[in-house]
Amino acid sequence: MVRRTAIWTGALLLAAIPAAAQDRETKVRNDRQQIENDAKWIYNDLEQGLRIAKNEGKPLLVVLRCIP
Amino acid sequence: MDQFVCVRLVQTNGLDLSLFQFDFDLTFSVFFLNADKTIYGRFGTRSSREEATEDITISGFRKALEGALILHKTYPATLQIVAGKRGPAPTFKVPEEYPSLREYKPTLDYVGNVVTSCMHCHQVHDAQRKLVRSERKPLPDQVLYPWPMPDVVGLKLDPKERAKVEHVEPGSAAERAGFKAGDEIIYLQRQALLSIADVQWVLHNAGPAAQLEAIVRRGQDAVNLTLSLDEGWRRKADISWRTSSWDLRRMAAGGMLLADMPDTERSQSGLDEDSMALFVKHIGLYGEHAIAKNAGFAKNDVLVAVDGKTNRMSETEYFAYVMQNKLPGQRMPMTVLRGGKRIELTLPLP
C-alpha cells in the first residue's frame, strides 16, 4: 500500500515537470488521452467526481494542472 | 490515493472561483474536498521559477493525503476546523467574466485548437491586476503579493512535512511570536493545516496588519502563539518568479525584465551597495512589451534612477513603487547607465 502510494504520488509530482520536447497542443491532447485511459482518474469533470464521491463516501482529490 | 475519488482539471475556463481559490501562478495545485464541496485542504507551493519543485515533496504530499483522510473520517465533526478554507465570494463567478478574459469560452475546443481556447491559470492574476489598473487605483498589497510564502513572516517550513518549522528567522514576526524550529503548526486561525499551501491560504487572506492565532505541537505540548503582522508585512515577498509578473513588466516597466545587480558586479561599474542598479536582462519587442524599447531603453542598460528615486530596490520593489504610485498614461523619468555613460530617458506607462 505504501509502495503503491509512493509510485502514484511520484508520478503525480513528476507530471508537474514540463516535457519540453512536446508542443503544448500535443501535451494537452496526450495528457487527456492518458488520463481518460486511466480508470483511477476522472478527466475534467468535477460534477462526475462529486457524484461518485457522494455515492462511495470518499473524499475527492482534485488536481488542477495547467499544462505549460 | 485509492481512498480518494481523483479528478484532474486542466482548464481555468469555467472554473468555479467561489470554490477554487488558489495560487494561480502554480501549474500544479491540489484540493482535498468533501462531496458537499467542503475544502479539507490544499497542496501545492512554489517560490522559484528555476526550482519549480523544491517546495513540494512526495513525503509532504503523502502527509497531506493522510491528513485529509483523517478530516474526512471525522467529518462533519471537523467542520469547524475547515470552515475557514472556503474563501469570500469572488468578484466574478468564473474567470471568463473578468473584462480582460471575456474572449474565452467556458469549455475547451478539442475539435479545433485546444491551446488557443485554454486559459492559463496565471491569467486570473493578470486579470485581477488589469481590473484594478483599469479603475486607475493603486494595486492593493493582497493583489500585488498574492499567496505569501511563510518565509515572509520568518517561518521556513519543511516541505517534507505538513507545516513543520525548520527555521525561524531572527528578528522576524515569527520569532517575536515565539515560534521555534521543530514546532508543528497544527492550527492557524482555527484552521487545521495539511500543507504549506494551507499556511499560505491563511496568510493570503490576512489583512494589511493582522494578528493570527496559532496552536503548535512542541514535543508533547500544545502551545498557543499569536503572530502579529505589522502594516506592510507582505512587502518582503519576492514576486519576480511568478508567471503573472510578466504582465507587470509590461504595465510597470514597458516590457523590461529587471534584476538587482549583485554587489560583486556593482563595484566593477562604480556603483555602491545602497544605490539603485536594476540591470535590464531582457527587453520586449512587441506590442506594449516594446514600450521601453521604443522609448530608447536597451538590453544591458542599468537603471540607476527612477522617478527621482535612487535607493536600491529589487524588481519586486520596483513593481510595487510603480503599481502603487503611478497611473496609466503617466511618464516616468529615468537615468540609465550604458557603456559608462548616464543617459536620461522617459518611460510612458501603458
DSSP state of B106: S
Do the strands B221-229 and B210-218 form a parallel or antiparallel pair, or are they unpaired?
A: antiparallel
CB of A11 less than 8 A from some CB of B: no
Test the B interface: residue of A40, A64, A67 with most B CBs within 10 Å: A64
**Cell digits for B98?**
473578468
> In this complex, is the C-beta atom of A19 within 8 Å of any C-beta atom belonging to chain B?
no
The gap from C-alpha A53 to its chain's centroid, in whole angstroms, comes to 16
- Render pLDDT for B273-315 as a digit per residue (tens, 0 to 9): 999 999 999 999 999 999 999 999 999 999 999 999 999 999 9
Query: A 48-67 residues with CB below 8 A of B?
Result: 48-54, 56, 58-67
Determine the Cα angle at A68 with ends B7 and B49, to 5°.
110
- State how far the Cα of B290 lies from the Cα of B294, in Å rounded to an integer: 6
The number of angstroms, rounded, from the C-alpha of A52 to the middle of its chain's C-alpha atoms is 16
> At CA B51, angle to CA B45 and CA B53, rounded to 5?
45
Judge whether B191 and B81 are in contact, CB under 8 Å.
yes
pLDDT digit string (tens) for chain B, length 350 residues: 899 999 999 989 999 999 999 999 998 999 999 999 999 999 999 998 887 678 999 999 999 999 999 999 999 999 999 999 999 999 999 999 999 999 999 999 988 999 899 999 999 999 999 999 999 999 999 999 999 999 999 999 999 999 999 999 999 999 999 999 999 999 999 999 999 999 999 999 999 999 999 999 999 999 999 999 999 999 999 999 999 999 999 999 999 999 999 999 998 888 999 999 999 999 999 999 999 999 999 999 999 999 999 999 999 999 999 999 999 999 999 999 999 999 999 999 99
* B296 DSSP 8-state letter: T
How would you list the strands of the sheet with B191-192, edge to edge?
B191-192, B184-188, B210-218, B221-229
Query: What does DSSP say about strands B221-229 and B256-260: parallel, antiparallel, or unpaired?
Result: unpaired
- Using only the alpha carbons of chain B, give its radius of gyration: 22
% chain B with pLDDT above 90: 93
DSSP state of B204: H
Q: How far is CA B235 from CA A55, B37, B176, B258, B324, in A?
A: 46, 33, 18, 18, 12
- Cα–Cα distance for residue pair B71/B226, rounded to 1 Å: 25
Find the residue in A nearest to B122 (Cα): A66
Q: Which residue of B has its CA nearest to A36?
A: B8
Q: Which of A9, A24, A49 sits opposite B58 (nearest CB)?
A: A9
Give A4's pLDDT tier (boundaries 50, 70, 90). very low
Cβ pair B80, B234 in contact under 8 A: no
